[in-house]
Amino acid sequence: MAATLLSQLPSFGKLSDMALAMSDSSVNDLFTTDPERASRYILDAAGITLDYSKHLLDDTALAALYTLAREADLEHAATALLDGTEVNNTEARPALHSLLRATSAPGLEDKLAQVQRSRATMRDWAERLNNSQHLGFSGAVITDVVNIGIGGSDLGPRLVTEALRPFQGDVACHYVANVDPADLQNTLRDLNPDTTLFIVCSKSFRTEETLTNSLVAREWMLNAGASEADLAMHFLAITTNLEAATEFGIDADNCLPMWDWVGGRYSVWSAVGLSCAIAVGWDNFEQFLAGAAAMDQHFAEAPLEQNLPVLLSLLEVWYCNFFGAGNHVVLPYDNALQRFPDFLQQLTMESNGKGVSKSGQPVDHATGPVLWGSAGTMGQHSFHQLLHQGTELCPTDFILPLTTHTGMTEQHRRLVANCLAQSRTMMVGRSLQEAHASLVERGVDPARAEELAPHLAMQGNRPNSVITMEALTPTTLGALIALYEHRTYCSGVMWGINSFDQWGVELGKEIGVQILRIMAGESTNAAMDPATDRLIAAWQKAQD
């Protein structure tokens, strides 16, 4: 049966009218008419605070958005996700990433027991490595770990390792993802085979990039004098596909499990996170899980109007579906979070980049916007020009830990000031009159000031959230990632799509295999399309 599309929900039309009316209003005026707005438009959960006061929203529009959410049955979404309902209908699976950070799970005891066994093995590896108890083939202590994986088998652990560098122990963790040989080569250049351990991280154990890089890593180890038997000391696998991992040559005892009921992009909490658990130590990894579990509890228990992931999702729907915003920008004002936009790109766009509803019907409304961003203040000297004066509406999330681990509080104050300045500037803008007056004040001739003023004027009203936390710690990082996971799922529910499959990535992989066979001279069916054939010929010519 065809599901009801977002655009068919009773409140959709009313919200379209409201958005039209709101787009003529000014957020500045909303603050004037409601002096309490700055303290009322705040929501906290699990150590994360969202200030949504600078959005093009008033109480009436918000109430209508919550009504729309109820019409889309968002109220029951958290329970369905957390209790193991088959929310991933095309693959007939639940999406139980929350179980990976749970301490109890009524009705899911068997799965939780598997998770707990895996956690114990992870802990064992993390502690042995951090206590210098794991030796390589030459008897030297392992000092470096290389995670070979891509997508969800790379982005999460890489983000956590980088974000929690101040918590890092003695073992250095490195990440190789790209099939470009330069990625592996650059990483191995500085490493010693005697002291390096590889984690081959692949849910499917079929991913071209990961298998190709792992084979080269294996050769690197053998060329350094390790025997086939020695490889057991240097290779671990994280996978659902034990058979393929052992066939590849990884000892069955060195394989940690993954499960088909956890999506790759939601898997950092599982053994996929082993590299970051090693990097930051087991206790910190447990804190990371606890932070996410606190967000899960909030998501499950808070009423819709107090629910942080729900609100973030409704803001996304508001701009995407009622203002036509095709972009969403994430600006972490903390260098440690510079990978966060990359991580969120897979989380949100692989989850919600869909054009059909859960029942296979084409949707007649926008789904997931393009997400991008970078760590502040770099973007200010690059793309912020477009955010301030361009023609695209780019709702923005500023993410701001309020303290620094560097000990350099005065310099950090500058970073914070920049973040607050960007957020405020997006909201207030500068009128034509203000632009003119500021030019004249600077000594510009009034007639010339008249000509220049339109170039300096800024509309303002650029919606943005400011998400703060007291400090970026394992706990707050866990909560922050879980917040965006649940936001992504809630938006998927609102759009009536399945956030947990990714069929769109498969065809490109298949065609890649066909082209590789042609390039290797192995295919009898050599023709693609004229443009691709020409490019293959150009590649061939460059090899001669």
Residues in contact with ligand F6P by CB under 6 A are 150-153, 202-204, 207, 210, 264-265, 350, 502, 505
Q: Is 134 a catalytic residue?
A: no
Q: Are 297 and 75 in contact (CB under 8 A)?
A: no
Task: Count the neighbouring beta carbons within 10 Å of the beta carbon of residue 77.
Answer: 24
Residues sharing a CB contact under 8 Å with residue 539, sequence separation 6 or more, in sequence order: 519
Output the CA–CA distances (angstroms, integers) from residue 321 to 145, 486, 526, in the order listed. Answer: 44, 19, 44
Sign of CA dihedral 467, 471, 472, 474: negative
- Pick the catalytic residue: 76, 228, 247, 509? 509
Q: Is 328 a catalytic residue?
A: no
Euclidean distance between CA atoms 338 and 336, whole angstroms:
6
- Terminal CA-CA length for the chain: 57
Task: Count the neighbouring beta carbons within 10 Å of the beta carbon of residue 520.
Answer: 8
Give me the sheet containing 42-45, strands edge to edge. 42-45, 48-51, 464-469, 396-401, 327-332, 370-372
Amino acid identity at 109: E
Phi, psi dihedral angles at 5 (to 5 degrees): -80, 155
Smaller CB separation from ligand F6P, 138 or 240? 240
Amino acid identity at 482: A
Q: Are 316 and 487 in contact (CB under 8 A)?
A: yes
Smaller CB separation from ligand F6P, 211 or 304? 211
Q: Is 455 a catalytic residue?
A: no
Smaller CB separation from ligand F6P, 147 or 404? 147
Euclidean distance between CA atoms 128 and 139, whole angstroms:
15
Euclidean distance between CA atoms 65 and 306, whole angstroms:
13
Smaller CB separation from ligand F6P, 378 or 513? 513
Euclidean distance between CA atoms 211 and 245, whole angstroms:
10
Q: Are 141 and 134 in contact (CB under 8 A)?
A: yes
- Pick the catalytic residue: 381, 410, 506, 522? 381
Euclidean distance between CA atoms 57 and 316, whole angstroms:
12
Q: Which of 3, 33, 43 is nearest to 311 (CA)?
A: 43
Q: Helix, strand, or coil here: 198?
A: strand
| Parallel/antiparallel/unpaired status of strands 255-257 and 235-239 | parallel
Q: Helix, strand, or coil here: 503?
A: helix
Q: Are 359 and 1 in contact (CB under 8 A)?
A: yes
Amino acid identity at 279: A
Three-state secondary structure string covering 67-82: HHHHHCCHHHHHHHHH
Q: Which of 277, 203, 134 is nearest to 500 (CA)?
A: 203
The burial of 211, by beta-carbon neighbours within 10 Å (0-12 exposed, 13-18 middle, 19 or more buried), is given as middle
Mind telling me the catalytic residues?
Answer: 350, 381, 509
